[in-house]
Amino acid sequence: MRFHPPLEEGRLIRRYKRFLTDIETVTGELLTIHCPNTGSMLNCMVEGGQVWFSRSNDPKRKLPGTWEIAETPQGRLACVNTARANQLVEEALRAGVITELNGFTALKREVPYGQEKSRIDFRLEYPAGAAYVEVKSVTLGFDGTRVAAFPDAVTQRGAKHLRELAHLAREGGRAVQLYCVNLSGIDAVRPALEIDAAYGAALREAKAAGVEVLAYGVCVTSQEICVDRRLDVLLD
């Protein structure tokens, strides 16, 4: 996925009220832009660090731009726009990059399903039946390791999705938890037990129930982002 028009560069002043970010562009312009990330963004930003943002010319928008990429305290690049994860995964699915899910005949997004009235990110149709794919965007990294972690804050919603997938798998359906690791310099992903032990337990239970757990990494630059490799998932 290439950015059109190209992203603009700046430096981070502060993120506040969850969805607001103050930045200074390379030309010295001070802007408040939208932060499209509901998580804590732990280890994902540093004041004074580089940021890249997309600018909007829509006069109906309250804010002139959207924060897309951040420089992390570890010097990595992170795509902080969580809406990009599903776009990247769909692009990768259609290109055959996620080999475990190749061969589908139709792709549907945001399909209602489950006992707890959820919506699945992707329902893939195959001659033998459907696969339900839940996508999570991962941006949490740490110093001295190439292992990312999820989640970056307690997520009851994430645990709910795992319960839904586990029930589907127990009933004989194909259920997939896919981590899209939107962070450079990463080789593997793990549950962040130190942040949300309940989510980690739900992930292990889902795996035991037959849910497929996959992780894919991205190549991220200020010009483009694309899913390009499978990553290890560390559950122990």
pLDDT at 51: 98
Handedness of CA 95, 97, 98, 100 (dihedral sign): positive
pLDDT tens per residue, range 220-235: 999 999 999 999 999 9
What the block records as the tokens of 236 is 């122990």
What the block records as the tokens of 204 is 């292990």
Q: Provide the whole-model pTM.
A: 0.96
End-to-end CA distance of the chain: give it in Å, rounded: 33
Question: In the chain, which residue ranges form alpha helices assigned H by DSSP?
Answer: 83-95, 156-170, 197-209
Spell out the domains of the chain, with CATH numbers in brackets.
8-76 (2.40.50.580), 83-233 (3.40.1350.60)
- C-alpha to C-alpha distances, 214 to 23, 178, 222, nearest whole angstrom: 35, 5, 26
Question: Rounded distance, CA 92 to CA 97, Å?
Answer: 5
Is it the case that residue 35 has pLDDT exceeding 90? yes
Which segment of 54-63, 160-169, 204-213 scores lowest on mean pLDDT? 54-63
The average confidence (pLDDT) of the chain is: 96
Please name the helix (run of DSSP H) or strand (run of DSSP E) that holds residue 29, with its range, or none. none
Q: Which of 166, 156, 139 is nearest to 43 (CA)?
A: 139
Is it the case that residue 100 has pLDDT exceeding 90? yes
